[in-house]
Each structure stands twice: as structure tokens, then as C-alpha cells.
Amino acid sequence: MASGLVQGLIDLSVSIPSQDASRASQQPRSKPYGDGLNRAVEIRLLTHAYQGHTSNIIVNVACGLGLYVQFYLTGEVNSAVNALIFFLLVQSTIRAFLGRRDAHRLSTESDPGSQIAIGATRRYLYGVAVACMTWGGLLHMALHSGNSELMYFTIIVVSAMASGATGVIAPMLKCGRFYISSLLMITIAELLLMPQPETVLAILVAVFWGIMLGAHARNHHMLRNSIELELKNSALVDDLRVQQDALTEFNLTLEDRVKRRTSELKRLAEHDSLTQLFNRRGIIHWVEEQQRKIPDGYALAVIFIDLDRFKQINDGMGHATGDCALAEIGERLASSAPEFAAFCRWGGDEFVGLLAVPEDRCVDIGLEFTAQLRAIVEKPISFSNRSVSVGFSAGLAVSKPHPVAVSEAIRSADLAAGEIKRTGRGGTLLYTPDLVAEQERNLIIAQRLKHALPAKEMHLAFQPLVHSHDFSVHSYEVLLRWDNPILGRVSPEEFIPIAEDIGEIVHIGEFVVDTALATYVEELGRASHIRLALNISLRQLVVPGFAQFILGYLEKYRLPTRMLILEVTETIFDARNQDTIIGVLNDLHSLGIEIHIDDFGTGYSSLSRLHEMPISALKIDKSFVQQIDDQRSAIIEGSVMIAERFGVHTVAEGVETIEQARLLHAIGVTYLQGYLFGKPVEHFAEVSVNSDFLIWPETARYKAS
């Protein structure tokens, strides 16, 4: 029966952790620490129990020996008492030995459900139970001895032991209760079962029992709470440490992430997303970084690249294709960058290249490098169904390798690129300070040009073209003159391109036609056979209804269409507006109006297309005429041969000397024009063709060998 009771207690005790754990799970108070804390408390309580184990045994042995002395003094010692005391000493020795071992094992144990913990709990209980049975035996012997001195002594000793157990066995709630209850219940039972039952004493012991159980429970809970508190504190400290570590870790990764993100943002902020080249900010930052690395005596060649007619690609092939082309060009530029060079996408279709080169050769190398870039960029870019070739206008400037100077130089190179674009595209212009002055003047001209006609600042001049064989006047070229009160006389060579740029040429052109025809009728009369040559800009030619517009003025002055010549430049061979241009030229030609190609040899020499155009004459540019030497005469001879091949006439302009006239006549040029024959004058009557030298040898026709 006793072993059954002990087993029950063991089961109870062993199941404590899980019970406590389930209780804990129902208690939100311990939730943050949960099962872990309860398990830790259990194992700490067990350890505590073992810490008081030895003193418990010593008290047991001391009390046992003391009682034995009392038995001896009262002469009540017998073999049963001897056996019980002997058993007490043996079991105490065994318990002490096993207790030390268990205490040692438990010092490293953290799981109350482990074999070690369960074994230790079990052995503790066995020990307590065996001690209780022994004391039960001793109590029985003492209380049935009939010696009241021994009886009271024993009750006092047992009560003292029960009282001591409230502290010593406080860690083990159930085990302590069992120990205290067993000792005092046996005492009560023995008191009541005495031949003369000591009822009052039994009641006193029962009251004492209750008090002791209460004291034990309080002690247990105090101990439990203090352990719990201690563990919670250390858990809190651990938690804080973990949190601190996590925070440090978090801070570290945050720092890393911030670093990573910062460099990512820096890349984004300094690069163009489409081409992956630097953007404006990036290229300046590059200069800042390279500043110290670029060797002394080096400067930066700043190349501003403005793609030609990129808008056409965008409009004609779509923006996606345009973007692909830009990305491809960006890649080509980047891959052509040597050391100490960088490229940036400045804006839409504009790029900037920087190249560190020896200061004294900066311009030469810059120009050479630009030519290389041109070759690379102009290579056809293939798309799925077609390929395009993109050219560019470039400006070159020289800069010190310093961010502020570079920013300034980029502006200068941009200016030069703008200038080259305006005057014909596809070239490279070196920036000079004059360019700024020039551009400022252009701006003023553009502003004043708009008021030139209403202010009647423009008028016309007429310059004769003569037949080369007899110097008879064939026609008059109409040349525009502009006298501005502030700017003075402005050359048409200067203001016509600006008028074309700002679109003002259309109004001016109308003024020229109207005034020229009016002057013609007034000064030469409708019956005159002399023709009138008008300079027509491409911009005028492509205005819808241009042929009708000309016809309208001829009708207005009732002049025949055959009296009119239109001089157009080689820009008509420009691929753009080809259909419109050919259409309008055909219309004019079919009306009987002659078309002459002006400034022949200076521009787009698309001779292969000459036969597509209804051209009547090629007007050889004065630059070839005025510097006639072997090479230039070869160009003139070539032009004459081409003209003859196509069955058209030739005109030589800018003839200033008799020698030039002689040579041109000898080459076979049809018409001559120049100061030699007459300067541009305001009235036809003022024209007096110089014909003093009008005697050609009969065999003057010069043939090139």
C-alpha cells in the first residue's frame, strides 16, 4: 500500500511540469515566457530541493540519534528501536550519496521532463517516503512505550521536523505536503490509538499540521515566485540582449542597405536610363573625380554631338525605334571611349563626349576623334525590317579639366554644333569666341528682320548675266538688299539663312517677286526679251502651291512665263521632300519657267539625280571662278562636261577679270556674271555692260586636254 501511495506521489510530482505548463498556457501573465519559463522554474525548484537535501538528511540523522538517546535514557531501547535507527542511518547515508550525485547531475539540466530530472524527483520522493515510514515506526515505539517523557520528546522532535520541512522541502510542494502530513498524521493517529488516547494533544497536532501545511505552501509559492522573477529578469536581460543584437544586426544591414540603395540612387541620378551613359549631372561628377587623375598639361576636348534629323526617325518609325537607335548610338559611343574619356546623353538626341588630351594638340585630336565617332555612329543601325543611318552635327571646344570650365565648354560646343547645324549639318565646328558674338548678332538680325518689310528697309538690286560669246545681256539676277538704321547694310548672305530659319523668307520672297516684276514692267516693259532670275530658297519652294503663287504674280503683271528664271541651290537634292520638290519643279518647268542650280559644286552633288530634275542650267559657284587654278578649272571643266551631257547650260558667277572671262569662255561656259560685266544696281537703266574687251579670237573655244 505504501509503495502504491509513493508511486502515486511520484506520478503526481513527475506530471507537475506538464500540469504547470498547461496552467501557464491558460495564464496570460506568463504568456511572454510560456512553457519555457515553467519548465525552467520546475528544474530550478528541483535543484533547490537538492540543495536543501543534505541538511534535511542531517536533521533527520540528528533527530534520529537524539531520539535514540532519549530512548536509551528512558530505558526504552529495544531491538526494534535499534533496527529502526540503524535503518535510518543506512537510508540517510544512501540518500546523501545519491542526493549529491543527483544535485551534480541537475546542475547542468534544464529540462524537467528529462530522465535525469525524473529520476532525481523519484529518488527524492523515495527517500522522503522511506524517512517518513522510519519515523512512523519510531513514533509508534515512543508513543506506545508508556513513557510520557519519551512520548512528548518524540512529538516535539517530529513537530520540529515537520516545521523544518516547511522550509527545507519548500521547493517540492506535493512532496513537502506528503512529508509534513505523513509525520503529523502518524503522530495524530498514534495519539488517538494510544491505550489512553491523547485527544487534546492530537487536536493540537492537527492544528499545527494545518498551520505547517499553510506555511509550507506559502514558502513554496514565495520560492517559486522569486525563482520566476529571477528567471523573468534574466529572460528580460537576455531578451534585451537579443533585441540589442538584433538591433545591431538590423542597424548593420540597414546601413548596408542604405549604402547599397545610396549607390543605386547615385547611379540612377547620374546616368541616363535609356543609353546607360552619364546624364548631365553624371558627366560633371565624372570631371570632379577625374580632375586629379588627369595628368598635367592635359586639357579636355569637349565634343557636342547633335544628331541630324532624328525627329524624322521618331516621327517616321515611331518613338520606340527612336529609343532603340539612341540606345545603340549610346552603346557605340561608350565602346569607343578610350581612357580618360566619358560620354553623356545631354538631352533628347544630343550627346557630349569628353576626352583628356595633351593641351597643345587638343583641337587636332578632338577633330580626329570626332571624325572617328562620326564613322562609328553613321554605320547603319538595323531594326527588324529596315535599317537607318544617323549622322550628326558636332561642336568642339577645349576646356580645362575642371567642372565649371567644362560646363562652360559644353555650352560653347553646343553653340558651335548649333551653328554647324544651321549652316548645313553633318560637319564639325570648332568653337571660337567670335561664335558667341555671331550668334548674338544673329539673334538681333532675327528680331529686326521681322520689321524690315513693314519698315520698307528692303529693296532690290539687279545684276546682269551675259552670253559668254558676245556679252549681250541674257538676264538679270534679282538680289535683295537690306539697310537697317541700326545694323546698317546687312548682306543677304548673312540675313537670308536667318530668314530661312525663322520662316520669314516666305514673306520676303513674296516681296522680291512682286517688286522685281513690278520694276521689270516699269523699267524694261512687257515686251523685253531679257529674263529675270530670282533666287528661291528651298523653304519657299516647298510651300504648297508655290507654282501657282509664281504664276499668280506673272499674271498680275501680265508677263510671259518664259521671262522668269528661278535659281535654286543644290539643297533640292536633299532626300527630304523629294516628291514635293520634283513635283513643283516639274510644274514650273511645264509652265515654261527655267530652273537653274545655284552655287553648283558647293553642296549636295547628287549628279545622278540631275536627270530627274527639269534643270536648264548649272550656275558654277563664284568660289571656283575667282580662284581659277589648275584644280579649280578642272572642276569647272567637269561641270561643263556634265551640263553638256545633260543638255543644260552653264553659268559662271563672280567673274571679275578678263582672264577669268577668257578662260570660262574657252572652257565652254554659256553665260557669265560678275563685277567685270556689271555690279548689282537698283535700276536696269544703270546697267552698263563693259564690252571693251569684246573681241574673242575666232578659235577661242578652249578644249581641255
Contacts of 269 (CB under 8 A, 6+ apart): 279, 281, 282
Pick from 324, 305, 290, 325: nearest CA to 403? 290
CB under 5 to 8 A by kind: which of Ca ion, ligand C2E, none does 480 bind? ligand C2E
Show Cβ contacts of residue 95 under 8 Å, excluding neighbours closer than 6 positions. Answer: 53, 57, 123, 127, 130, 131
User: Could you tell me the sign of the dihedral formed by the alpha carbons of 470, 471, 472, 477, in that order?
Assistant: positive
d(Cα 638, Cα 640) in Å, to the nearest integer? 5
Amino acid at the residue 688: S
Using the rule CB under 6 A, is 656 a contact of ligand C2E?
yes
Between 553 and 592, how does the x/- string for binding to ligand C2E read (CB under 6 A)?
A: --------------x-------------------------
For residue 394, give the nearest of 375, 376, 367, 354 by alpha carbon: 367
- Residue 456's nearest CA partner among 535, 534, 518, 511 is 511
Q: Report yes or no: 545 and 587 within 8 Å, Cβ to Cβ.
A: no
Among 176, 282, 654, 668, binds ligand C2E (CB under 6 A): 654
Least spacing, CB of residue 691 vs Ca ion, in Å: 23
Q: Which residue has the cell 536533521?
A: 59
Q: What is the 3-state secondary structure (H, E, C) of 348-372?
A: CCEEEEEEEEEHHHHHHHHHHHHHH
Span near Ca ion by CB under 5 A; candidates 167-175, 382-390, 595-603, 687-695: 595-603
Q: Which does 282 bind (CB under 5 to 8 A by kind): ligand C2E, Ca ion, none?
A: none
Mask for 613-632, x = binds ligand C2E (CB under 6 A)? ---------x----------
β-strand partners of 564? 532
Give least dist CB 598 to Ca ion, A: 4
Among 279, 680, 684, 687, binds ligand C2E (CB under 6 A): 680
493 interface partner picked from Ca ion, ligand C2E, none, CB below 5 to 8 A per type: ligand C2E
Question: How far, in Å, CA of 219 to CA of 58, rounded?
Answer: 21
Nearest approach, Cβ of 525 to ligand C2E (angstroms)? 22
Nearest CB to ligand C2E, comparing residues 339 and 493 = 493
Angle formed by the axes of helices 16-26 and 34-51, nearest 10°: 140
For the CB of residue 632, give the shortest distance to Ca ion in the complex, in Å. 15
For the CB of residue 477, give the shortest distance to ligand C2E in the complex, in Å.
6
> Which amino acid appears at position 317 of this protein?
M
User: How far is Cα 423 from Cα 493, in angstroms, rounded to an integer?
Assistant: 11
Which of 414, 500, 567, 594 forms a contact with Ca ion (CB under 5 A)? 567
* 310 or 482: CB nearest Ca ion: 482
Strand 617-620, strand 594-600: pairing: parallel
Q: How far is CA 418 from CA 307, 351, 375, 503, in A?
A: 11, 13, 20, 17
**Beta-sheet pairing, 387-388 with 381-382:** antiparallel
Q: Out of Ca ion, ligand C2E, none, which partner does residue 674 contact, by CB within 5 to 8 A per kind?
A: ligand C2E
Q: Minimum CB separation from ligand C2E for residue 621, in Å?
A: 7
Rule CB under 6 A: is residue 493 a binding residue for ligand C2E?
yes
Among Ca ion, ligand C2E, none, the one that 13 touches (CB under a kind-dependent 5 to 8 A) is none
Beta bridge partners of 673: 465
The nearest distance, CB 487 to ligand C2E, in angstroms, is 15
- At position 1, the amino acid (one-letter code) is M
Q: How far apart are CA 456 and CA 448, in angstroms?
A: 12
Is 660 a binder of ligand C2E (CB under 6 A)?
no
Of 328 and 567, which CB lies nearer to ligand C2E in the complex structure?
567
**Using rule CB under 5 A, residue 535 touches Ca ion:** yes
In contact, 428 and 420? CB cutoff 8 Å: yes
Given 66, 167, 391, 492, the residue binding ligand C2E (CB under 6 A)? 492
Q: Provide the minimum distance between the beta carbon of 681 and Ca ion in the complex, in angstroms, as a whole number.
A: 16
Q: Which of residues 395 and 654 has its CB atom nearest to ligand C2E in the complex?
A: 654
Give CA torsion, residues 577, 580, 582, 588, to 10 deg. Answer: -140
* Residue 594 interacting with Ca ion (CB under 5 A): no
Q: Which is nearer to ligand C2E, 232 or 679 (CB)?
A: 679
CB 191 within 8 A of CB 143: yes
Measure the CA–CA gap between 480 and 535, rounded to whole angstroms.
Answer: 9
> From the CB of 573, what's the least distance to ligand C2E, in Å?
17
Q: How many angstroms separate the CA atoms of 112 and 410, rounded?
A: 80
Considering only 86, 250, 646, 675, the residue that binds ligand C2E (CB under 6 A) is 675
Choose the contact partner of 296 out of Ca ion, ligand C2E, none; CB within 5 to 8 A by kind: none
Closer CB to ligand C2E, residue 429 or residue 516?
516
User: What is d(CA 572, CA 578) in angstroms, rounded to the nearest whole number?
Assistant: 7
Grid cell of 468 as nine digits = 559668254
Residues 6+ apart with CB under 8 A from 487: 444, 445, 448
Candidate residues 519, 535, 616, 670; the one interacting with ligand C2E per rule CB under 6 A: 535
Closest distance of CB 296 from ligand C2E, Å: 48
Cell numbers at 78, concatenated: 529495544
- Contact string 251-290 vs ligand C2E (x = CB under 6 A): ----------------------------------------
599 touches Ca ion (CB under 5 A): yes
* Rounded Cα gap, residues 532 and 198, in angstroms: 159
**Of positions 41, 479, 572, 669, contacts ligand C2E by CB under 6 A:** 479
Q: Which stretch binds ligand C2E (CB under 6 A): 87-95, 408-416, 535-543, 575-583?
A: 535-543
Nearer to Ca ion, 349 or 567 (CB): 567
Do 126 and 7 touch, CB atoms closer than 8 A?
A: no
Considering the rule CB under 6 A, would residue 682 count as an interface residue with ligand C2E? no
The only residue of 598, 624, 663, 684 in contact with Ca ion, by rule CB under 5 A: 598
The Cα 328–Cα 252 span in angstroms is 41
- Which of 30, 181, 537, 670 binds ligand C2E (CB under 6 A)? It is 537
Which residues of this chain interact with Ca ion, rule CB under 5 A?
535, 567, 598-599
Which residues of this chain interact with ligand C2E, rule CB under 6 A?
463, 478-480, 491-493, 496, 512, 535-537, 567, 598-599, 622, 653-656, 673-675, 680
